[in-house]
Amino acid sequence: MKIAVCLKRVPDTEMRFAIAADGTSLDSAGLKYDISDFDGYAVEIALRLNEQQGPGEVVVVALGPDALQETLRKALSMGVDRGIHLQADPVPYDGFSIAQALASELAGQGFDLILFGRVATDTGNGMVGPMTAHLMDLPCVTAISRLEIAAGKGTAHRELEGATETVTFPLPAILTIDEGIARPRLPSLKGIMAAKKKPIESRPAALGPVRLTVDRLELPPERAGGRIVGEGPDAVPELVRLLHEEAKVL
Amino acid sequence: MADTFAFAEFRAGAFRKVAFETVSAARRAADATGGGTVTALAMGAPGLSAKAAELGRYGADRVIVVEHAELARYSPEVFAGTAAAQLKAGSYRAGFFSASAEGRDLAPRVAAALGQSLASDITSFEITADALTARHPVYVGKAIATLRLTGTPALVSLRPGAMVAVEQSRTAQVETAAPALDPASARVVVTELAQRPAARMDLGEAPVVISGGRGLKSAENFKLVEDLASAFGNAAVGATRAVTDDGWRPSSDQIGQTGRLVSPALYVAVGISGAIQHLAGMRTARVIVAINRDKDAPIFKVADYGIVGDLFEVVPPLIEAVKRARAEHQ
Amino acid sequence: MAFAGVDFYQMDGLLSEEERAVRDTVRAWVDEHLMPIIGDCYIEGRFPKQIIPGLAELGVLGANLPEEYGCAGLNNVAYGLIMQELERGDSGIRSFASVQGALVMYPIYSMGSEAQKKQWLPRLAAGQEIGCFGLTEPDYGSNPSGMITTAKETKDGWVLNGVKMWITNGSQATVSIIWAKTGAVDDPKSIRGFIVPTSTKGYAAKDQKGKLSLRASDTSEIHLEEVHLPKDAILPKSGGIKSPLSCLTQARYGISWGAIGAAMACYDEALQYSKQRVMFAKPIGATQIQQVRLADMLSEITKAQLLCLQLGRLKDAGTMTPQQVSLAKRNNVSMACDIAREARRLLGANGILAEYHSMRHMANLESVYTYEGTHDMHSLILGQEITGIAAF
């Protein structure tokens, strides 16, 4: 199958996290970037589908500055065949603007599947996949936790609150991939070397107008100093009293 | 005077709690912009119209009901197409969806159909004639972004539980409409909806979450957590990653950076030390209680109330005390 | 939590994209496949054989040898980073990779015939053959020129006799590179290398027991009793002590990087602990004594990193000298020993448990201090280089 995976380069915020002086973005000093977690699952699924179903092509597509190429190369070193870098610096917050750039790039290229991660770990919106699907008039299933493809059709599981949906759809389709579906493989060192020779095309992103912007980025409010109500079982009556009278949650 | 729109989620014969939150938000937005009409759209199997008037209790002036035998289950193309058509048919300042599992699938499609952007998963908003600003947790809860959305209608989806549904008396006028496209033509078909055998409430909906960590020492001891949840009556049971990795609890119970993000009114952390990746999943809870025998455990820094002690000695009397308190104050 | 490395002087910016990718990949592999099992392996005194296929598939065996022989074809900085990340896990695992790559595959590559290269290198890279390097003898450690293992030429080939000791991978090896004298026992110029399949009659390997260091590694004696080899078992381009020493230079280069990995592991563990461990109502990282410890560790790691990076660039440029490697091996292993010990001390009582890594590294590094040229031998190598006078 010819599969496109749309991925996002996101900062790794486990180690360093500070807000920049301008108050609207992260302080970039010492920030490392990587493929957004859920997009990694999507890449893995794409590679596995072609491993199981016979040879095909996997292409990764992403928006970003020049430094994005290193992230695309990581996908190439996992086994992806080629990359498409849509130049955008900065990448807008507005998912609809991004979806328009992706739809414009992907249209008419004959992909059997276009995969996204369910949600990006920086912006946490999960909207670019379904928006792109609408713009391309392709069937779309989001938040897939299990996937099977056979003879031009797909079956997927989605988790709702307290229930699991089974969904069928025809190909070509756009899918967004949830966690737990597959662990992304580590690139092998030979894969890293082979990636150097794989092509990455680079061109400006045809972004749509931007209507959603970030006014401010702040740390979450420090929870006002809590208190230790007491020690051991003797503190229980006081806790229950506070929960009822003060916090009003009981 | 600005009219607003709300999509009210209906499943298994009843409106979900998030439907009331959504309508309530649309009401607040209409009132904030001069007091216009709130129109709610509900879609589902026949029988839905009998319940539609409920939405008036949360501020809907009008409820458009789309009933069809094939709409017992969510169908993305039909729901999105119908919601988009209804939004286009009126002149709405803003449209509200829930960022529930269904809403997260539905809202982006509707936005794209309207050529608008979407402020998703917001925890609060302010609206004027020209702009809507909203707050949204980013970087897995490590920061809060204040977003500005322009364009009309301004489309948003609300983080479940973040904005309380406010009751008010209103008589909603119920109208029926047809789906904008024939359900039989849908390419994506839900063939099955399997309810998970849950005696418990879902983590995302429960007003109270009781969570257990390594301090419980074994899978069997989780009974204490379950009993405390039962004592509260309206609680769901969560777990830390350490405990789900070890297989004591299913991974769908995991609360944290790579698991569920919850915003309950009350979160009780039992035997949980408070690793950063766990805090990311629950720090927006309104009230946090921690029970841990280590007074230096990081969880006490975010807890509003803490008890330092052996959870095996604290939780049993707590279960009894909660049961008594509920009986007294019911 | 995933290991984040130590990079106080932003050296990541001095690495190529590919070097960073290699390092990050091996780091993630160690987190996933080695860290969960290494504590138990060390206590039980066994090398985790089950990781060999994974290591091979990752491509770390002979990683700096060419692709045409089934290897990854990486440059020497990338190779060094691999050793660093493996030893961040455990010195025994890095020893396995060093032996396989630098002491078995390298001599075949640099001194073997084309037929030997084609026969052995791809299989060694794939972990289908495990190799070991037979140089050291019970009475000839620092002075390998004095070895008494002999290889007598016969009309059909060679006959080897002798004993080798302290041989890593010895008991699990399928093939051994044995160094033996073809001439008189006092003629080091007659030292030649031989490829010896370990199934050959007369070859016996026995694990050395009772080790308190490098416990997750096989260390063996090898007995060669009338081992008959065909003519083509000899490494044709080998000759003199410089042949095995050239292999050791390769291994020592990797060890210089490896020591940094062990040091980083101990420093990171000590740092995290110092922030969490509370005593006298504050974290122990708030005390001056521990801050001085941590500052000293960071300084030594940073210096060692810059040392190795330049060493690697020289190696890639083809100008690296064995004495430059001696300086790095000596310095880096010594500083890693100190850091491991100081980290162990910072960890207090917890530091004696296998659940924590520093004491395991501390014990391992004593072997690393001694093998591949003891610390003292490297002092003399440098001394001779600097003064022109041999003081051995």
Residue B2 in this model has a pLDDT that exceeds 80: yes
Q: Are B109 and A130 in contact (CB under 8 A)?
A: yes
The rounded percent of chain B whose pLDDT value lies above 70 is 98
Q: Which CATH architecture has domain C242-387?
A: Up-down Bundle (1.20)
Closest by CA to B305, choosing from B269, B254, B265, B262, is: B269
Q: Are B170 and B132 in contact (CB under 8 A)?
A: no
Q: Which residues form the domain of B295?
A: 208-329
> Measured between CA atoms, how close is A7 to chain B, in angstroms?
16
Chain A residues with CB under 8 Å of C59 CB are: 188-190
Does residue B81 share a domain with residue B138?
yes
Q: Give me the amino acid identity at C152.
A: K
Q: How far apart are CA B103 and CA B79, in angstroms?
A: 10
Does residue B272 share a domain with residue B166?
no
Tell me which residue has tokens 């009219």.
B3
Residue A223 in this model has a pLDDT that exceeds 80: no
User: Residue B255, Cβ neighbours under 10 Å: how many?
Assistant: 28
Tell me which residue has tokens 């405990």.
B243
The rounded percent of chain A whose pLDDT value lies above 70 is 98
pLDDT at A15: 66
Residue B254 to residues A164, B258, B259: CA-CA distances in angstroms?
Answer: 17, 8, 5
**Residue B130 sits at the chain A interface (C-beta within 8 Å):** no
Does residue B287 share a domain with residue B169?
no
CATH number, position B125 = 3.40.50.620
Residue to test with chain C: of A189, A196, A197, most C Cβ within 10 A: A189
The more confident residue out of A55 and B27 is B27
User: What ipTM score was computed for the predicted complex, to two decimals?
Assistant: 0.92
Closest by CA to C336, choosing from C313, C364, C374, C309, is: C364
Pick the range with the lowest mean pLDDT from A104-118, A152-166, B225-239, C176-190. Answer: A152-166
Q: Which A residues 51-110 touch C at CB under 8 Å?
A: 70, 73-74, 77
Closest by CA to A61, choosing from A89, A42, A33, A48, is: A42
pLDDT at B262: 85
Does residue B253 share a domain with residue B316?
yes
**Band (B205; pLDDT cuts 50, 70, 90):** confident
Tell me which residue has tokens 């980025």.
A217
DSSP letter at C32 equals I
Buried/exposed code over C281-302 (b: 16+ C-beta within 10 A; e: otherwise): eebbbeeeebeebbeebbebbb
Closest by CA to C224, choosing from C265, C179, C256, C192, is: C179
Residue B198 in this model has a pLDDT that exceeds 60: no
Angle in degrees, 0-180, between the axes of helices C242-276 and C358-370, rounded to the nearest 10: 160
**Residue A196 sits at the chain B interface (C-beta within 8 Å):** no
pLDDT at A161: 72
Model confidence pLDDT, tens digit, residues A65-77: 999 999 999 999 9
Please compute the mean of the pLDDT values over residues B271-285 and round it to a whole number.
Answer: 85
| Alpha helices (runs of H) in chain C, residue ranges in sequence order | 17-29, 35-44, 52-58, 76-89, 91-98, 106-111, 114-125, 242-276, 288-317, 322-346, 358-370, 375-387
pLDDT at A28: 84
Q: Which B residues 165-184 touch A at CB under 8 Å?
A: none
Residue A177 in this model has a pLDDT that exceeds 60: yes
Q: How far apart are CA A78 and CA A189, in angstroms?
A: 10
pLDDT at B197: 62
Tell me whether residues C82 and A189 touch, CB distance under 8 A. Answer: yes
Tell me whether residues A188 and C25 touch, CB distance under 8 A. Answer: yes
Does residue B138 share a domain with residue B232?
no
CATH number, position A76 = 3.40.50.620
Residues of chain C below pLDDT 50: none
CATH number, position B218 = 3.40.50.1220
Which residue in C32, C57, C372, C385 is the catalytic one?
Answer: C372
Tell me whether residues A189 and C74 touch, CB distance under 8 A. Answer: yes
pLDDT at B259: 75
Q: How far apart are CA A196 and CA B185, in angstroms?
A: 46
**Residue A14 sits at the chain C interface (C-beta within 8 Å):** yes
> Measured between CA atoms, how close is C243 to chain A, in angstroms?
29
Q: Are C79 and A189 in contact (CB under 8 A)?
A: no
HSE-CB at C227 with a 13 A cutoff on CA atoms is 27
Establish if A144 belongs to a structural domain: yes
DSSP per position, B246-264: TTSS-GGGBBSTTSB----
Establish if B311 belongs to a structural domain: yes
Choose the final residue of a domain: B121, B152, B185. B185
DSSP per position, C142-174: S-GGG---EEEE-SSEEEEEEEEEEEETGGG-S
Q: How far apart are CA C390 and CA B101, in angstroms?
A: 76
DSSP letter at A166 equals E
Does residue B169 share a domain with residue B241?
no
User: Residue A116, Cβ neighbours under 10 Å: how many?
Assistant: 29
Model confidence pLDDT, tens digit, residues B238-269: 999 888 878 898 877 889 876 788 888 899 99
The top-level CATH class assigned to C11-125 is mainly alpha
Tokens in use for B225? 């957590």
Establish if B201 belongs to a structural domain: no
DSSP letter at B281 equals H
pLDDT at C22: 96
Query: Looking at the 3D structure of chain A, how many domains does it have?
Result: 1
Q: Which B residues 311-330 touch A at CB under 8 Å?
A: 313-314, 316-318, 321-322, 325-326, 329
> Measured between CA atoms, how close is C296 to chain A, in angstroms?
22
Q: Are B140 and A17 in contact (CB under 8 A)?
A: no
**Band (A226; pLDDT cuts 50, 70, 90):** confident
Establish if A250 belongs to a structural domain: no
Pick the range with the lowest mean pLDDT from A6-20, B176-190, B198-212, B226-240. Answer: B198-212
Q: How far apart are CA B59 and CA B6, in angstroms?
A: 10
Establish if B198 belongs to a structural domain: no
Please compute the mean of the pLDDT values over residues B137-145 and round it to a whole number.
Answer: 88
pLDDT at B253: 87
Does residue B230 share a domain with residue B173?
no
Chain A residues with CB under 8 Å of B100 CB are: 161
Does residue B156 share a domain with residue B237?
no
Residue C375 to residues A111, A123, A126, A194: CA-CA distances in angstroms?
Answer: 60, 52, 57, 39
Tell me whether residues B143 and A169 touch, CB distance under 8 A. Answer: no
Closest by CA to C58, choosing from A199, A59, A57, A78, is: A78
Beta-bridge partner residues of B288: B267
DSSP letter at B61 equals S
Closest by CA to A122, choosing from A178, A38, A184, A183, is: A38
Q: State chain B's mean pLDDT as an integer.
A: 91
- Domain spans of chain C? 11-125, 131-233, 242-387
Chains in touch with C (≥3 Cβ pairs < 8 A): A
CATH 2.40.110.10 fits C131-233, yes or no: yes
Longest CA–CA separation in chain C, Å: 80
Q: Are C228 and C200 in contact (CB under 8 A)?
A: yes
Q: Are B210 and B237 in contact (CB under 8 A)?
A: yes
The rounded percent of chain C whose pLDDT value lies above 70 is 100
User: Residue B207, Cβ neighbours under 10 Å: how many?
Assistant: 18
Establish if A228 belongs to a structural domain: no
Beta-bridge partner residues of B260: B255
Q: What stretch of H or E contains B269? A: strand B266-270
The separation between CA A71 and the C-alpha centre of its own chain, rounded to angstroms, equals: 13
Pick the range with the lowest mean pLDDT from A95-99, A180-184, A191-195, B200-204. Answer: B200-204
Tokens in use for B25? 């938000």
pLDDT at C138: 95
Residue B32 in this model has a pLDDT that exceeds 70: yes
Q: Give me the amino acid identity at B116.
A: Q
Tell me which residue has tokens 């208190």.
A227
DSSP letter at C140 equals B
pLDDT at A195: 95
pLDDT at A225: 66
A15, A188, A195 member nearest C57 (Cβ):
A188
Q: How far apart are CA C58 and CA A232, in angstroms?
A: 52
Say what the pTM is. 0.85
A15, A70, A187 member nearest C17 (Cβ):
A70
Residue B143 in this model has a pLDDT that exceeds 80: yes
Look at residue B170 and give its three-state secondary structure: coil
Tell me whether residues A77 and C21 touch, CB distance under 8 A. Answer: yes
Tell me whether residues A190 and C72 touch, CB distance under 8 A. Answer: yes
Tokens in use for A242? 């506070």
Establish if B52 belongs to a structural domain: yes
Look at residue C390 and give its three-state secondary structure: coil
**Residue C4 sits at the chain A interface (C-beta within 8 Å):** yes
**Residue B109 sits at the chain A interface (C-beta within 8 Å):** yes
Establish if A137 belongs to a structural domain: yes
pLDDT at B196: 67
Query: Looking at the 3D structure of chain B, how many domains does it have?
Result: 2
> Measured between CA atoms, how close is C284 to chain A, in angstroms?
21
pLDDT at B199: 53
| Alpha helices (runs of H) in chain B, residue ranges in sequence order | 17-32, 76-89, 101-114, 222-232, 241-245, 276-282, 299-302, 311-329
Q: Which residues form the domain of A186?
A: 2-204
Model confidence pLDDT, tens digit, residues B304-321: 999 999 999 999 999 999
Q: How far apart are CA A163 and CA B74, in angstroms?
A: 12
Nearby residues of A12 by Cβ (< 8 Å), 6 or more positions away? A31, A32, A33, A34
> Measured between CA atoms, how close is B93 to chain A, in angstroms?
15
> Sign of dihedral through CA atoms B237, B240, B241, B245?
negative
Tell me whether residues C67 and A77 touch, CB distance under 8 A. Answer: no
Tell me whether residues B117 and A96 touch, CB distance under 8 A. Answer: yes
Please compute the mean of the pLDDT values over residues B148-152 and round it to a whole number.
Answer: 95
Tokens in use for A186? 């580590």
